Amino acid sequence: MNKQIFEKSFKRFLTVLQKYVSDESDFWTIKGFIDINKNLYTISSDTKIISKILEIHIFHLINKFAKDMGFKMELAKEQNYYPDMSFVLKKDVNIKFAVDIKTSYRD
């Protein structure tokens, strides 16, 4: 597994993630939170909240991508440590790719 193959596969995978988290108009599929009393709370624009929601929402897809590509996924040992996750090739643990999830504002 070389860098170019991983990068090409990951970029293809990002289009899958984009379709999963957004509708046809590029609006998020998640609109807020619900508590046990069925109160609804909209998502704020705080990037920490948005990042965590994205991580939770897409984690299973990222894990599947890693497995399908022959990688083991390792998460950061502590909060705010780089990278958020590392992909470690099962056949050769010396081959690793770091992935860090970032959010930003977009017009």
Which member of 11, 84, 90, 91 is catalytic?
A: 84
For tokens 């999963």, the residue is 20
Which member of 11, 77, 91, 102 is catalytic?
A: 102
Q: Which amino acid is at 50?
A: I
- The DSSP line for 16-67 is HHHHHHB-TTS-BS--EEE-TT--EEE--S-HHHHHHHHHHHHHHHHHHHHH
Is 100 designated active site?
A: yes
Catalytic residues: 84, 100, 102
